[in-house]
Structure 1
């Protein structure tokens, strides 16, 4: 089941298949999840950790979130060893557009300084 991911401005920017993959709003595969971290599907580069439905940047600041979880930053995570590439998943059907959630409180440590596009192109 896909769940929506929002940026700090409460814009729908991606969908997540928990503990597996992240897709953009056009259902293009953009990232995979391995060992608690998010990796670029395009380059294989480490993008940051993930905690349930909260995606963090390499500094431990929130990038993407889902209203089912809390939005909190963490201390800077250690760089993990490179993950093995995974096979491209089949393109999922686009879910119905979710209702826009309320903006969460400012997380401890603040939001990432990166836009979604900048985070994805690391």
Structure 2
């Protein structure tokens, strides 16, 4: 039996099959999280988490935001953009449709303003 899956679909499915990537998406779905908190949630080394963050960002499933701590230092937090994935079987193979969360223009402005003003 042959599999008809293009490389982009295969990469997405492999990423979603990764336990750390799934945990990162779930942890950042409702609330932005730092890499440190994601490392704790996944019980994994920060280097492992940063590799997954990079892969998720490359696929557009995760975005980062700058935050300002009380001491005036900047740090990143991460927010999931993945809303859903639908997989259909067709005569040509698998058809994968990914739904991304979209930020409202007012939310984008507010977030940017807060990032710059602290």
Band of TM-score, shorter chain: under 0.3
Larger Rg belongs to = 2
TM-score w.r.t. the length of structure 2 is 0.25
Q: Greater strand percent: which structure?
A: 1
TM-score w.r.t. the length of structure 1 is 0.24
